[in-house]
Every structure is written in structure tokens, then in C-alpha cells.
Structure 1
Amino acid sequence: METHTEKKVIICKVCRSSFCCEIHLKKHMQEHAGEKKIKEKRHSCVQCGRSFYYESMLISHVRSHTGEKPFACTICDSVFSSALILKSHMRIHTGEKPYSCEVCGRSFRNRSTLYVHKRTHSEEKPFSCETCGSSFRQKSNLLTHVRIHTEKKYSCEVCGSSFKSNTKLSSHKRTHFEEKFSCEICGSSFKSNTKLSSHKRTHFEEKSFSCEVCGSSFKQKSNLVTHVRIHTGEKPYSCDVCCKAFSDLSYFKKHARIHTGEKPYACTICPASFSDRSALKVHMYTHTGVKLFLCDICGCRFARSHHLKQHMNTHKKAQ
């Protein structure tokens, strides 16, 4: 009878990466040997002071200040600040995943994602919170966690709400004083004339990009590209954590926040924050008193769709 033995996992003493054999570990150690040859970061950014080993890295970094994105994707029109980021992005379209885990065989589009994945084997959590000692595999997760300890120092003198930054406080104050700009065509209201002008273009702009399969038309080529995937079944955006795939980049980004815990959409009235814009929009109804969801049986209104569904069950039980 054949017996199966567990694979021996070898740990790198420098970075705690995991390997299945000595040959892979030896090859990996050469990377650390190369790191030691670089003595100092000689190229510094004059705007923020960050330093880099190579001039090419500095040039790419400076674009984060200027906003320049000279590298464009020929497939979906996305633009990037460096050729390296563009190269990584192109793998979304090609499906290429050149970085493989020596322990379990899983493949990834980016080397950095592979490094994060390897920590699931070594259980390494190199990013620690200085306040409570909690540890995390990714720096982004640590930054999200630290907000728990951050004090809210900026208070609104009108309603007393507190915020973590003066920027968020200023945005909140506009809800008390700012004039509403309304669209005379559809009645939608906006906080600034700039947003109103942008909205008005949706009423007049021509939809020049048409789907050859079903005839649907779109104002932007990128929207057409996303739509066509409904017909082709293509899902180029794959989650490196759970492998779930998506046809739309926005849905993929929303999903990724499940793993990172990021909640970038903050309420300007109370401390609540959310992982997607639609959840914030629903939450705002609790402050405005708007109840969009109507029961067509008894006329009761609700601020949330699931409250309406719960309410509808009371009618079903009564029948």
C-alpha cells in the first residue's frame, strides 16, 4: 500500500518566505544577496523627501505628484504612471500569471501579491500596530486597523459631529450651508455648479459606441468594453485572495474591500463609513428621512429595501 508523506516546508531566515525544497530556497537567497549590494538610496524626491535606489524609480514616483500618466493600455484605455504598472495591468487582459508559489502551486499576476500569499504558509504577519500589538500580513490592512485608535479631533460647531481630518469636517459643513444646484430637465440636485454641469451633459451627449450583439449604446468606449463581456462571459478581473472573477473592474474593487476591510466612503454627518458608495447613499436616508421603498399593499414606506422585504412577510403570514 502506498503511503503519502507531507511536503517539508523550508523557511527563509531572512524574510520568512516558504519553500518546498533546498534548490528553490538557494535561488531565493540570491535575491537577498543582491539586496545587500545596494548600500544606499541616493535618489531623493524634492517634493516629499522619499528616497529610491534607482533614478527610474524616482522618475516614476514623481508622477504621483504631477499626476502624469503617460502609459496607456491599448485594450481598455486605462492609463498608468509607469511602464511596470502597465505591464502588470496587461496581464488582466492576457490572463498571464507568471509568479507561482513553490509550496502550493498557485499563480499570481504580480510578484508583490505572491509575497503576500506566501505569508499564508509561514503565518508571518510583519505589520504590527504600535497601539495594541495586532499584526497583519498586509500594510493596507494595518492602515485600516489603525483608524480604530485614531482620535477624531475636528468637530462641527453646528451639530457637534466629529471627524478624523479637517478635510472631512469641511466637506461635512457644506451640508449645513451649501446651496443646492438643480437640473431643470430632471430635477436632480447637486452640491456644486460643476457637478450640475457634468450631469447635464448626460442628457445631451451622443451614445456613439454601440454593441454589435444587442444594439445597446454607450457614451464611453470603456462602458461598451465592459458591457460586451455579458455576451462573451469574459471575467478578466480575478481576486488573488479567493479567486472569484469579475467582468467589471468597479465590482472587483468593491469585492477586494471585503478582504482588506477598507471603507473609503464616509458619512459627512456621522462617523459611519462604508465599503461602497451605494451603501453610503442608503445610509444617508437615515439622516434625511427619505423613504424610497414603498409597500404596494398598505402604503408603508421604508428607508432600506431589506426592511420592506421583512415588512412584506407580515402580509404573507396574514393571508
Structure 2
Amino acid sequence: MNTKSFIGENSYSCKVCGSSFTRKQCLAIHMRTHTGEKPYSCEVCGSSFTHKETMVNHMRIHTGEKPYSCEICCSSFTHRQTMVQHMRTHTGEKPYSCEICGYSFTRKPQLVIHMRTHTGEKPYSCEVCGSSFTEKRSMLRHMRTHTGNKQYSCEICGSSFKNKNDLAIHMRTHPEEKPYSCEVCGSSFTRRNNMLQHMRIHTGEKPYSCELCKSSFTRKPGLVSHMRTHTGEKPYSCEVCGSSFTQRINMLQHVQTHTGEKPYSCEVCGSSFIRKPGLVVHMRTHTGEKPYSCEVCGSSFTQKSHMLQHMRTHTGEKPYSCEVCGSSFTQKHHMVQHVRTHTGNKPYSCEVCSTSFTDKQTMVIHMRTHTGEKPYSCEICGSSFTKKINMLRHVRTHTGEKPYSCEICGTSFTKKTYLLRHVQTHTEKKPYSC
């Protein structure tokens, strides 16, 4: 077959699809896309390729060679194109833009997938139940719910997982080499880039800023996730129930509520957790460690979020407001519970007497009136209580502690209600009438 056709000087044309080339060799290589010919084979695993260059790139998987390096952070890559894409994380360049909403991306495949959020296209379908997906990997991950296949195995302990991300999370439970250390606190990391990002905790540097509200972040993914609070975009969906999330990690954690998988276990009491941070925080109940301290009064806490909530008792900040009556609260879940006083919604019911409650904790405490359980005990006299706050108040009868002080005369009290009643003696307020 004479495949040469002179469209221009030294121009070669494909008679199958009409593509043209300046060199005969390029046409010959192109024809393999039609014939399926793959003349180049990997000597290690036998994979075959249409291009010699593709085979050479593939060989680096076996040799570990990464000849392309980033001049900024020294990360290395097996492919030049991958290094070029990586450089955009430093330059901020996003050459691929969505014509509908203006979102831009560093890679063209990301734009193609994003466009499906506008078109609704879901080109990948499950052969078993017919569910359709925007991404091939989502479809493959879903297929494992039918086959039970766990193709990702841990080389250290043999545990197997349905998806690569779960294996990556599991691998962190095994000790590994961390050659990069923080000179300030000594924390170590497997990658230099992670160490450099960690250093910003000490320097306070937040190079990524939101153009809408001026919030700033130490890492670019933090800014990307934050922007979704403005756009409302939730690109990650649960394949089981359809719930959508702004962050992939939140979606993965949610999926585990369906599978029941809790890969992180406490070696002391056997409690298991969906996420490693949950295990880390739990361990402090055994060690007594409270690494977060209040700069005002010195109170210490096991979790940073608890310390930040406590700080509001000093600053008076109440960032969560009720849209109905305007009442403000220091914690979001307090505001959510309050809103139920307007809606009348009481989603938590007692299984014994059917009494319903606006919040779960109140229902749990109520259940103790049926079971007689008193989980909080005084270490001094052994008295037990249904509520922790009652136990803490009781302990003060032994210690003599009076943590609530009047700012006017200095008189101190064991309970906050006693202090509030006392303060009225200074204001001459008389709220009770005959």
C-alpha cells in the first residue's frame, strides 16, 4: 500500500484517518495506532509498546531512574512531562480553563473530568448494577464492592485493601525511614517537600491567599479546599449513598461508615478508629498528655479544637449565630442544637420510654436513669455520678477549690451559678418579686 500522498513538500498522509506527517517514519509509527502493532517489549515484565520512547520511560519503573528534577524543590520524576506539570505547583500556572465557570487546572485531564460536572456525562458504567461514574478509577473502585477484591496488599504485614489510598494510609502505621528532619522541633519526614511545608508552622508563612476573603494557607491544597466554601462545589461523591464532599479525605472517611472498616487500633484497650488522628487523640486518654495549653489561664487540653473553643471563654467570641433569633454561640454544635428549639426537631429518642431529645449527649445521660449507670467516680471517697460535671463539682468539696471569682470583690465560689447570684449584690439588681 502506497501511503505517501504529497499534500505539501515531503508530506505523508494516513489513508485511514487523514492525519499528515512531515516524515515517513512518523507516519509508520502512527499506523500502529490502527494496526495495534507494538514492536517494543519490556525485558523485565513483557509489557509491549508502540513507541520506543514509551518503552524506555516504562523501564524506569523497574530501574527506579528519575532523570528529571525540579530546580526549586529537587523532587525527581521518571517522565519529563510529569516534571513540567509539577513545576506548575510552584509557578501557579493553570493553562487549562473551564469556559463555563472559569475554574483552571494544571493538567488537561483534570479539565476534561471537571467538565462532566457541567454536562452530567458519566461515561464509565458498572457491568453488574449499571451505576455510572465520571471517572474510570471511581468505577473500578465501585466494582470491588461487588467482587470483594482487595488487590492492594501491604508488603510488611500482608493486609489487603480495596483501593490504593487505603493501603497508603495503612502503610503509615509501619515504621519507615524519614531522612528529612525539622531543625526546630525534630519532626521527621519521608519527603523533603513535606518537611519544607511543615517548617511554615514555625515561621508562620502562609503563601497561598484567598482573593475573596483574604484567608491564607500554608499549603496550596488548603486554599483549593477553602475556595469551595465560596463556590459550593463538592466534587467528591460517595458511591454508596451519593453524599458529596468538598474534600476527598472527608469522602473516604465517610465511605468507611458504610464498610465499617476501622484500620487504626489502640494497643492498650483495643478501641479502633477510622482515622489515625482519632487514634492519636485517644491515646492521650491513656498517657494523660495534654499538649495544647491556654495562654491566658494555663488550662491544658488533649485536642487543639478544645483549646480554641476554651479560648472563647476569655475573648467572648461567639462566631456561630442563630438565623431565627440572633442568639450566638461559641461552638457550632451548640448553635445546631439551639436551632432545634425553634424547629421542634428532636432526632434522638430513648429506646426505653421514647422520650426524645434535641442532642445525642442529653439522650445518653437520660438513659442512665433507666440503667442506673454512674460512670464518673470520685477518687477520694468513691461517690459516683451520672454526669462528669457533677463529679467535678463534688470533688471541690474535698479540695476546697473555688474556680469562679468575683472581679469586683474577689470572693470565690465552687459553682458558676453561685458567682452569678453573688454578682447581683454589687449591681443592686433584684430579679425576684413578691
TM-score (structure 2 length as normaliser): 0.39
2:198 is the counterpart of 1:227: yes
- Paired with 2:41 and 2:93, the residues of 1 have a C-alpha distance of 34
State the distance in 2 between where 1:218 and 1:111 align.
36
The structural deviation recorded for 1:71 is: 1.8
Q: What do you get for the CA RMSD once the two structures are aligned? A: 5.1
SS in 2 for 1:116: helix
Matched, 1:137 2:172: no
Does 1:103 pair with 2:100?
Answer: yes
SS of 2:73's equivalent? coil
Q: How far apart are 1:61 and its partner, in Å?
A: 2.1
SS in 2 for 1:120: helix
- Structure-1 separation of matches of 2:193 and 2:110: 26
Q: For the Cα contact (< 8 Å) 2:57–2:78, is it kept in 1?
A: yes
Conserved 8 A contact 2:69-2:76? yes
Shift of 1:315: 2.7
Q: Find 2:286's aligned residue among 276, 285, 292.
A: 292
Aligned-partner residue type, residue 263 of structure 2? C
CA contact (8 A) 1:69 1:82 kept: yes
Residues 44 and 50 of structure 1 are in contact (CA less than 8 Å); yes or no, is this contact kept in structure 2? yes
Query: Bigger relative contact order, structure 1 or 2, given CA contacts below 8 A and separation 6+?
Result: 1
Q: Which moved more, 1:96-105 or 1:42-51?
A: 42-51
Q: Which residue of 1 aligns with 2:24?
A: none
The Cα of 1:34 is off from its aligned counterpart by 5.5
Distance 2:273 2:130 in 1: 24
Q: How does 1:178-189 map to 2 (within 5 A)?
A: none
- Compared with structure 1, are the counterparts of its residues 169 and 242 closer, same or farther at alpha carbon in structure 2 (3 Å cutoff)? closer
* 1:139-187 deviations in Å (ceiling 9; x for gaps): 22122222212336xxxxxxxxxxx4695598269xxxxxxxxxxxxxx
* C-alpha contact (below 8 Å) 2:264/2:273 kept by paired residues: no
Q: How much has 1:95 moved relative to structure 2? A: 0.4
Is contact 1:41–1:54 with CA below 8 Å preserved after alignment? Answer: no
Q: What's the CA shift for 1:232?
A: 2.6
Q: Matches of 1:295 and 1:226 in 2, distance apart?
A: 26
* Amino acid across the alignment from 1:292: H
Q: How many residues align?
A: 221
Matched, 1:114 2:111: yes
Cα 1:56–1:166 shift into 2, 3 Å: closer
Q: Percent identity?
A: 31
1:123 and 2:120 are equivalent in the alignment: yes
Q: What letter corresponds to residue 140 of structure 2 in structure 1?
A: L
Post-superposition offset of 1:136? 1.1
1:95-115, CA deviations, whole angstroms, 9 ceiling, x for partnerless residues? 000011233322100111111
Change (3 A) 1:268 1:219: closer
1:267 partnered with 2:266: no
Would the alpha carbon gap of residues 240 and 166 (structure 1) be closer, same or farther in structure 2, given more than 3 Å must change? closer
Residue type of the alignment partner of 2:286: L
SS at the partner of 2:111? helix
Structure 1 unmatched runs, 5+: 1-31, 153-163, 174-190, 246-254, 297-304
**Residues 53 and 121 of structure 1, relative CA distance in 2, 3 Å threshold:** farther
Equivalents in 1 of 2:199, 2:156: separation in Å? 41
* 2:388 aligned partner: 315
Deviation of 1:80 (Å)? 1.4
Deviates more, 1:226-235 or 1:135-144: 226-235
Paired residue type of 1:171: C
Amino acid at match of 2:120: E
Inter-partner Cα distance in structure 2 for 1:239 and 1:91: 17
In the superposition, the TM-score normalised over structure 1's length comes to 0.50
Give, as a single letter, the amino acid of the residue that structure 1 aligns with 2:207: E
Q: Against the structure 1 CA distance between its residues 292 and 125, is the aligned structure 2 distance closer, same or farther, given a 3 Å change threshold?
A: farther
Q: Is the 8 A contact 2:98 2:104 kept in 1?
A: yes
Decide whether aligned partners of structure 1 residues 240 and 147 sit closer, same or farther in structure 2, where only a CA change above 3 A counts: farther
Pair 61,228 (structure 1): closer, same or farther in 2 beyond 3 Å: same
User: How far apart, in 2, do the equivalents of 1:292 and 1:172 lie?
Assistant: 29
Q: Which residue does the alignment assign to 2:87?
A: 90
2:74 aligned residue: 77
Distance 1:166 1:55, change over 3 A: closer
State whether residues 60 and 81 of structure 1, in contact with CA within 8 Å, keep that contact through their aligned partners in structure 2.
yes
Distance 1:259 1:121 in 2: 21
Structure with bigger gyration radius: 2
AA aligned to 2:388 is H
Match for residue 300 of structure 1? Answer: none
C-alpha distance in 2 between matches for 1:111 and 1:82: 17
Q: 1:268 to 1:41 in 2, by over 3 A?
A: farther
Distance 1:232 1:282, change over 3 A: closer
User: Do the aligned partners of residues 228 and 105 (structure 1) sit closer, same or farther apart at CA in structure 2, a change above 3 Å counting?
Assistant: same
Q: Report how far residue 76 of structure 1 moved.
A: 2.0
- Whether the 8 Å contact between 1:41 and 1:51 is mirrored in structure 2 is no
CA contact (8 A) 1:71 1:83 kept: yes
**1:169-210 per-position Cα deviation (integer Å, ceiling 9, x unaligned):** 98269xxxxxxxxxxxxxxxxx99xx59x59x9xxx9x6x65
Structure 1 residue 123, shift from structure 2 partner: 1.3
Aligned to 1:176: none
Shift of 1:225: 2.0
Q: 1:56 to 1:75 in 2, by over 3 A?
A: same
Alignment partner, residue 65 of structure 1: 62
State the shift of 1:94 in Å: 0.7
1-structure distance, mates of 2:118, 2:138: 18
The alpha-carbon distance between structure 1 residues 169 and 55, as it changes in their structure 2 partners (threshold 3 A), is: closer
TM-aligned CA deviation for residue 226 of structure 1: 1.1
